[in-house]
Amino acid sequence: MGNEVISYLSKHIKLSPRQKELIEKCTIVKSYTKGTILLRQGNIANESYFVLKGIVRSYAINDNEQETTIEFYPEEQAIIPLTYGKRIPSTHFLECLEDCTLIINNPEYEQEMFAKYPEFESICRVMGEVMMAQLQESFTDYKTRKPEERYLYIMEHRPTLLQRVPLYQLASYLGIKPESLSRLRKRLTKNN
Amino acid sequence: MGNEVISYLSKHIKLSPRQKELIEKCTIVKSYTKGTILLRQGNIANESYFVLKGIVRSYAINDNEQETTIEFYPEEQAIIPLTYGKRIPSTHFLECLEDCTLIINNPEYEQEMFAKYPEFESICRVMGEVMMAQLQESFTDYKTRKPEERYLYIMEHRPTLLQRVPLYQLASYLGIKPESLSRLRKRLTKNN
DNA sequence: CTTAGTTATTGATGTTTGTCAAGAATGGAG
DNA sequence: CTCCATTCTTGACAAACATCAATAACTAAG
């Protein structure tokens, strides 16, 4: 069951055979039905996840009641809420867009693991750093690209998203209204 | 000299008198002239900073040779490059927009400090978490607000920026072209 | 003070997005 | 299968931004 986790982690750091063994042993797996809210904005985030099957969306609602999709997490993605393990209320929601199978983690269990297998702590630290760098990069990218360029990027690099995600949610991910995404797509099919 | 650091840190975490004393003792201060590049995109970031005087800009250049301002760091701001202490090349530049006086830090010095004063490690960890949360929040905010709203936010919360920063750099921070910022400003003065 | 270089504004024009409203397509529940 | 709710598309119009080009304002160096 932990194979997917190992394949994911291996993209970012080198794992020793012993570490791989460890990960396989220590995973808690749960399933959720489509539509399940894993975390609510304002609540405390006391779990982190790893997606084995399905797709999870993270989104936030601001004072204008506008909903913004922050990220989609399909298979082989780690989901670590920003407020994970802190006392601060969560800044965003987590929602299952399909029936999902997830690996669950929580701070207490993590601490237990760290005590038993100290190497685990640096793995987690590195993962945190990687996520932060990715976040910064996508922010920079977001500022320099137009919605159309962002859409084309997704078509090229994450084409399955288009089949699995409602377009109005993709629109809020791109930072435009659903109508604009609709027209953008029409434009693209015409010109090619 | 460390007073400003203490005042900054105190905004985010509680410091004991002993910790404050520590910080005062252990700071390395340097000065740079306007225009100095502290860090280049592609290079290794082996220093982090704290601004005592002046203002530093972080920006990135993407494949289209477009320059995007990521953040302005005036007095009392910590600057921790995302790739700080890692072997990854930096994703952004750091540039002094004025003559600057900065507190310098590097990973080796940090490790030394951690060994001597273990409490320091958790201070740094918390600071990292705070920065990450801020980054995520500004990203979400960026997606839901229009350029005009972002400009008004700066006028209200960081009014000094407008006097210290060239408008074309502020424009790239807001995600628009200088011409558009110019017109946006004109619009606002007319309607109020 | 003058000049060269940078930064800011303005005008004209085309494209894209937002908004409001209506209609078409899709999908799930009974 | 039918119906209802959600999701997607389309139209018309206004607002905002990008682009190109020219001019104005400002700054720093000689």
What is d(CA A101, CA A35) in angstroms, rounded to the nearest whole number?
13
Which of A177-181, B43-47, B75-79 is predicted with the least confidence, judged by mean pLDDT?
B75-79
Average pLDDT of the segment spanning B17-28? 76
What is d(CA B132, CA A14) in angstroms, rounded to the nearest whole number?
24
In a domain? residue B131: no
Greatest mean pLDDT among A110-119, A182-191, B70-79, B167-176 lies in B167-176
Instruction: Answer yes or no: is pLDDT of B178 > 80.
Output: yes
* Average pLDDT value for chain A: 86
Instruction: Answer yes or no: is pLDDT of A148 > 80.
Output: yes
Question: Do A91 and B136 lie within an 8 Å CB cutoff?
Answer: yes
Kindly state the helix (H) or strand (E) to which residue B96 belongs, with its residue range.
strand B93-96
Structural domains of chain B, count: 1
User: Residue A191's pLDDT is what?
Assistant: 64
Nucleotide with minimal C1' distance from the CA of B165 is: C7
Give, in degrees to the nearest 5, the angle at Cα B94 between B157 and B97: 60
What is the tens place of the pLDDT at every residue in A128-142?
A: 777 777 888 888 889
Coil/strand/helix, residue A60: strand
**A18 and chain B in contact, CB less than 8 A:** no
What is d(CA B133, CA B192) in angstroms, rounded to the nearest whole number?
35
Instruction: Answer yes or no: is pLDDT of A1 > 60.
Output: no
What is the tens place of the pLDDT at every residue in B92-144?
A: 999 999 999 998 988 888 888 888 877 777 777 777 777 777 888 888 889 88
**B83 and chain A in contact, CB less than 8 A:** yes
Structure tokens at A154: 């997704």
User: Residue A192's pLDDT is what?
Assistant: 58
In a domain? residue A82: yes
Other CB atoms within 10 Å distance of the CB of residue A162: 13
**B172 and chain A in contact, CB less than 8 A:** yes
What is the tens place of the pLDDT at every residue in A55-100?
A: 999 999 887 778 999 999 999 888 988 888 888 899 899 999 999 9
Instruction: Answer yes or no: is pLDDT of B15 > 80.
Output: no
Q: How far is the CA of A138 from the C1' of D23 (A)?
A: 38
Q: Is the CB of A179 under 7 A from strand D?
A: yes
In a domain? residue A146: no
In a domain? residue A103: yes
Contacts 24+ apart (CB under 8 A), A112-121: A113/A26, A117/A22, A119/A19, A119/A22, A120/A19, A120/A22
User: Residue B128's pLDDT is what?
Assistant: 75
What is d(CA B168, CA B179) in angstroms, rounded to the nearest whole number?
8
Structure tokens at B157: 């919360």
Other CB atoms within 10 Å distance of the CB of residue A32: 18
What is d(CA A180, CA B8) in angstroms, rounded to the nearest whole number?
43
What is the tens place of the pLDDT at every residue in A160-177?
A: 999 999 999 999 999 999
In a domain? residue B138: no
Average pLDDT of the segment spanning B81-93? 86
Chain A: residue nearest B131 by CA?
A: A132
In a domain? residue B59: yes
In a domain? residue A137: no
In a domain? residue B185: no
Reading phi first (left if > 0) and then psi (alpha if -120 to 50, else beta), residue A32 is in beta
Positions of strand C less than 7 angstroms from a protein CB: 7-12, 16-21
> Which of A62, A136, A143 has its CB closest to that of B91?
A136
Instruction: Answer yes or no: is pLDDT of B1 > 60.
Output: no
Q: Which residue has the higher pLDDT, B54 or A1?
A: B54
- For a pLDDT cut of 70, what percent of chain A falls above it? 96
Q: What is the DSSP string of A113-178?
A: HHHH-THHHHHHHHHHHHHHHHHHHHHHHHHHS-HHHHHHHHHHH-HHHHHHS-HHHHHHHHTS-H
Q: Using only the alpha carbons of chain B, give its radius of gyration.
A: 18
Q: A–B: how many Cβ contacts below 8 A? A: 70
CATH number of the domain enclosing B91: 2.60.120.10
Average pLDDT of the segment spanning B5-11? 74
Domain that holds residue B114: 3-118
